């Protein structure tokens, strides 16, 4: 396939060609109409001039007599211009005028006629000489019979009008050619620019399909529809890259973090199968296997929950819920557990705050936040800890805050802890899988909200913001 065939098969070039054709046809028809109207107007103007002069001569003849008429015809006949004049007697013999040879039928039957004529050249002095050059042409005339029986013929040379028509036609042809040429140039430039942008998107997608997920569609400063498309594509590619990177990290973390509990499971089971193992040690090993299995099940449940949330298909539909009841119930549920650990739970939940959300996921997010707070709320100096559960509504935003008085999280690690299986070194001694905050972050994204970790000075301030509308 030639390059021309390839270019012609593109929708952009076809649409451009269609536009050029429509525009050219319309422009040609418009210019043809203007030219035709101009020619008609010139012809009409000549006819009006002839009729006006005929009426003028008739008034002169009626009011001032034949001598005044003869003087008037003689005066206009000697002036240069396209006018043709003939004044003859009742029999049609030439008396005055710049045209002496008039066809007999024009003189016999008054009316409007067109014929070829010959007259002296007004720019040549010796017109009496029979060899002097004569002026020829085509005339449109009106013949009338005066009240005294004399014949008057007034006309105009149409060669001049045809010259105007020729100029109009020439201008029309030049204009048509210019329209076609400039339309092709403009269409070619437009198609080239559009195809260049499309080729850029295609080349970028080809590089991405080859495995380079960091490629993005270039965005110009024109802020046109292609830039809007490129922005949306880049946002989609960012999201896909994040998901693929998250999938890779999940695979690595699952292999790393689940290897240890699976190894412990195997060791416990192997110890229980030894012949030297007592009944008590076997029972203890089986209980340990059950505990480890429960932790693994919880880990996989959390992974499934995150995957379901990120897929945008949570259990149940979004409905209007009372977030105040959920926050108060979770705070009340973890109150005794926190009290046993020497931690005070303070409830600052505003009453009757509602929003459209998934009740199960909001409740799970609150549980994860409270569990983390109970684990890490005790200060480093060993004193009593404190957890504050807040719920506020500001305009169209619902803000859920769980703040503790623990050692806190370094600022450089606050975004990283929202990823799956991420646990700080000081947290390795605590039970958990590193999926709690990742689930909260997924719930926030599902509800078009935002989850962030802030400094509580001391401790951590976990803020979950959700749109109330």
Give per-residue pLDDT as tens, 215-249.
888 888 877 777 888 888 888 888 787 777 767 76
* 396 contacts 467 by C-beta, under 8 angstroms: yes
Give me the pLDDT at residue 120, please.
63
**pLDDT above 60 for 426:** no
Distances (CA, A) of 446 to 64, 243, 247, 400: 104, 14, 18, 16
Backbone angles phi, psi at 33, to 5 degrees: -65, -40
The Cα 376–Cα 367 span in angstroms is: 14
Structure tokens that stand for 341 in this block: 């650990």
Structure tokens that stand for 5 in this block: 């065939």
**pLDDT above 60 for 3:** no
Domain extents in the chain: 225-257, 316-467
| Number of neighbouring beta carbons within 10 Å of residue 423 | 17
User: What is the Cα 458 distance to its own chain's centre?
Assistant: 49
Q: 331: burial class by Cβ within 10 Å (0-12, 13-18, 19+)?
A: buried
| Number of neighbouring beta carbons within 10 Å of residue 345 | 25
pTM of the predicted structure, to 2 decimals: 0.48
Give me the pLDDT at residue 20, please.
75
* 120 contacts 164 by C-beta, under 8 angstroms: no
Distances (CA, A) of 129 to 75, 94, 126, 133: 22, 19, 6, 9
CA angle 278, 283, 286 (to 5 degrees): 125
> Which of the four CATH numbers 3.20.10.10, 3.30.565.10, 1.20.1560.10, 3.40.50.970 does domain 316-467 have?
3.30.565.10
Q: Greater confidence, 431 or 350? A: 350
**DSSP three-state, residue 85:** strand
Work out the mean pLDDT of the chain and round it to a whole number.
78
For residue 428, name the pLDDT band (cuts at 50, 70, 90): very low
Structure tokens that stand for 159 in this block: 């060669």
User: What is the Cα 443 distance to its own chain's centre?
Assistant: 32
The Cα 453–Cα 469 span in angstroms is: 24
Reference 386, options 458, 454, 455; nearest CA is 458
Residue 400: which H helix or E strand, with range?
strand 397-404
What's the whole-number mean pLDDT along residues 54-79? 87
* 400 contacts 449 by C-beta, under 8 angstroms: no
The Cα 241–Cα 225 span in angstroms is: 24
The Cα 321–Cα 420 span in angstroms is: 28
Give me the pLDDT at residue 18, please.
81
């Amino acid at each position: 396939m030639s390059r021309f065939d390839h270019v012609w098969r593109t929708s952009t070039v076809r649409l451009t060609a269609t536009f050029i054709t429509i525009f050219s046809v319309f422009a040609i028809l418009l210019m043809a109409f203007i030219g035709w109207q101009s020619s008609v107007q010139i012809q009409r103007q000549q006819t009006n001039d002839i009729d006006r002069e005929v009426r003028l001569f008739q008034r002169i003849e009626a009011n001032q007599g034949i001598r005044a008429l003869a003087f008037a015809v003689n005066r206009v006949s000697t002036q240069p211009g396209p006018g043709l004049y003939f004044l003859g007697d009742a029999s049609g013999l030439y008396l005055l005028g710049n045209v002496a040879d008039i066809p007999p039928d024009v003189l016999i039957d008054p009316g409007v006629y067109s014929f070829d004529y010959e007259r002296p050249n007004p720019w040549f002095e010796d017109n009496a000489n029979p060899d002097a050059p004569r002026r020829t042409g085509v005339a449109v005339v009106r013949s009338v019979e005066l009240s005294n029986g004399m014949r008057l013929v007034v006309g105009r040379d149409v060669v001049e009008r045809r010259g105007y028509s020729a100029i109009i036609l020439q201008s029309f042809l030049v204009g048509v050619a210019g329209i076609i040429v400039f339309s092709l140039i403009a269409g070619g430039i437009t198609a080239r620019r559009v195809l260049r942008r499309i080729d850029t998107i295609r080349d970028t997608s080809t590089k991405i399909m080859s495995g380079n997920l960091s490629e993005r569609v270039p965005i110009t400063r024109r802020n046109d529809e292609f830039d809007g498309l490129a922005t949306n594509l880049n946002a989609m590619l960012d999201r896909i890259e994040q998901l693929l990177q998250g999938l890779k990290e999940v695979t690595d973390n699952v292999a790393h973090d689940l290897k240890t509990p699976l190894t412990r499971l195997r060791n416990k089971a192997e110890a229980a199968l030894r012949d030297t193992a007592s009944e008590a040690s076997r029972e203890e090993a089986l209980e340990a296997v059950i505990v480890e299995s429960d932790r693994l099940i919880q880990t996989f449940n959390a992974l499934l929950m995150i995957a379901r949330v990120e897929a945008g298909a949570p259990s149940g539909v979004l409905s209007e819920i009372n977030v105040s009841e959920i926050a108060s119930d979770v705070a009340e549920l973890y109150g005794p557990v926190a009290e046993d650990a020497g931690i005070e739970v303070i409830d600052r939940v505003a009453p009757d705050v509602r929003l459209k959300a998934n009740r199960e996921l909001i409740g799970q997010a609150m549980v994860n936040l409270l569990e983390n707070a109970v684990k890490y709320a005790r200060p480093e100096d060993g004193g009593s800890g404190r957890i504050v559960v807040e719920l506020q509504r500001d305009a169209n935003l619902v803000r859920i805050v769980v703040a503790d008085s623990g050692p806190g999280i370094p600022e450089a690690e606050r975004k990283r802890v929202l990823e799956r299986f991420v646990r700080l070194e000081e947290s390795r001694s605590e039970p958990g899988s590193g999926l709690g905050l990742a689930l909260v972050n997924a719930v926030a994204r599902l509800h078009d909200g935002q989850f962030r970790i802030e400094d509580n000075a001391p401790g951590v301030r976990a803020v979950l913001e959700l749109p109330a509308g």
